[in-house]
Amino acid sequence: MTGLTALILTALALPPLLARLTGGHPPTRITQLAALAPVAVVPATAAVIIAAAAAPWLAVLLAVPAVTLWIWQLPPLKRTSYQAAAGP
Protein backbone atom coordinates (compact mmCIF):
# COMPACT_ATOMS: atom_id res chain seq x y z
CA MET A 1 0.00 0.00 0.00
CA THR A 2 2.80 2.45 0.79
CA GLY A 3 4.47 1.68 -2.53
CA LEU A 4 1.27 2.58 -4.35
CA THR A 5 1.04 5.84 -2.43
CA ALA A 6 4.61 6.68 -3.42
CA LEU A 7 3.83 5.99 -7.07
CA ILE A 8 0.74 8.20 -6.95
CA LEU A 9 2.74 11.06 -5.43
CA THR A 10 5.38 10.69 -8.12
CA ALA A 11 2.67 10.70 -10.78
CA LEU A 12 1.55 14.07 -9.39
CA ALA A 13 5.08 15.44 -9.70
CA LEU A 14 5.80 14.16 -13.21
CA PRO A 15 3.68 16.55 -15.34
CA PRO A 16 5.46 19.71 -14.13
CA LEU A 17 8.80 17.92 -14.48
CA LEU A 18 8.06 16.88 -18.05
CA ALA A 19 6.76 20.36 -18.88
CA ARG A 20 9.96 21.82 -17.49
CA LEU A 21 12.00 19.45 -19.62
CA THR A 22 10.19 20.42 -22.82
CA GLY A 23 10.29 24.14 -22.16
CA GLY A 24 8.21 26.29 -24.48
CA HIS A 25 7.44 29.92 -25.03
CA PRO A 26 4.81 31.75 -23.01
CA PRO A 27 1.83 31.91 -22.90
CA THR A 28 1.18 28.22 -23.37
CA ARG A 29 -0.18 25.53 -21.09
CA ILE A 30 3.22 23.84 -21.01
CA THR A 31 4.93 26.89 -19.54
CA GLN A 32 2.13 27.32 -17.03
CA LEU A 33 2.55 23.70 -15.98
CA ALA A 34 6.34 24.12 -15.82
CA ALA A 35 5.81 26.97 -13.37
CA LEU A 36 4.48 24.40 -10.91
CA ALA A 37 7.86 22.64 -10.73
CA PRO A 38 8.74 24.21 -7.34
CA VAL A 39 5.46 22.90 -5.92
CA ALA A 40 6.07 19.44 -7.43
CA VAL A 41 9.15 19.06 -5.23
CA VAL A 42 6.91 18.37 -2.22
CA PRO A 43 5.08 15.27 -3.52
CA ALA A 44 8.24 13.98 -5.20
CA THR A 45 10.20 14.19 -1.96
CA ALA A 46 7.34 12.67 0.02
CA ALA A 47 7.20 9.80 -2.48
CA VAL A 48 10.89 9.03 -1.91
CA ILE A 49 10.45 9.06 1.88
CA ILE A 50 7.40 6.80 1.73
CA ALA A 51 9.05 4.46 -0.77
CA ALA A 52 12.12 4.15 1.46
CA ALA A 53 9.88 2.56 4.08
CA ALA A 54 8.32 0.18 1.56
CA ALA A 55 11.13 -0.87 -0.75
CA PRO A 56 14.62 0.63 -1.06
CA TRP A 57 14.81 -0.15 -4.78
CA LEU A 58 11.61 1.84 -5.34
CA ALA A 59 13.03 4.76 -3.38
CA VAL A 60 16.10 4.82 -5.63
CA LEU A 61 13.90 4.75 -8.71
CA LEU A 62 11.64 7.54 -7.47
CA ALA A 63 14.60 9.63 -6.34
CA VAL A 64 15.54 10.42 -9.95
CA PRO A 65 12.65 12.83 -10.64
CA ALA A 66 12.81 14.20 -7.09
CA VAL A 67 16.52 15.02 -7.35
CA THR A 68 15.99 16.54 -10.78
CA LEU A 69 13.30 18.84 -9.41
CA TRP A 70 15.47 19.77 -6.41
CA ILE A 71 18.44 20.62 -8.63
CA TRP A 72 16.31 22.95 -10.74
CA GLN A 73 15.39 24.89 -7.62
CA LEU A 74 19.01 25.74 -6.83
CA PRO A 75 20.30 29.15 -7.91
CA PRO A 76 22.70 29.16 -10.85
CA LEU A 77 26.38 28.97 -10.10
CA LYS A 78 28.25 32.25 -10.17
CA ARG A 79 31.19 32.13 -12.46
CA THR A 80 34.05 34.23 -11.26
CA SER A 81 36.58 35.11 -13.85
CA TYR A 82 39.69 36.95 -13.07
CA GLN A 83 40.60 39.16 -16.01
CA ALA A 84 43.37 41.65 -16.18
CA ALA A 85 42.28 45.25 -16.40
CA ALA A 86 42.49 46.67 -19.88
CA GLY A 87 44.56 49.73 -20.52
CA PRO A 88 47.67 51.27 -18.98
Task: Give pLDDT tens digits for 34-71.
Answer: 888 899 999 999 999 999 998 999 999 999 999 999 99
pLDDT of residue 57: 94
pLDDT at 75: 82
DSSP-H helix ranges across the chain? 2-22, 29-34, 37-54, 56-72
Q: Is the pLDDT of residue 74 over 90?
A: no
- What's the confidence (pLDDT) of residue 32? 85
Q: Are 6 and 58 in contact (CB under 8 A)?
A: yes
User: With 70 as the cut, is the pLDDT of residue 23 above it?
Assistant: yes
Average pLDDT of the chain, as a whole number: 87
| C-beta neighbour count of 61 within 10 angstroms | 15
pTM of the model: 0.78
Q: Is 22 exposed, middle or buried (0-12, 13-18, 19+ CB in 10 A)?
A: exposed
Which SS3 state, helix, strand or coil, does residue 68 take? Answer: helix
| pLDDT (average), residues 66-82 | 83
- Position 77 scores a pLDDT of 79
Count of beta carbons in the 10 Å neighbourhood of residue 7? 17
CB within 8 Å of 81: residues ≥ 6 apart: none
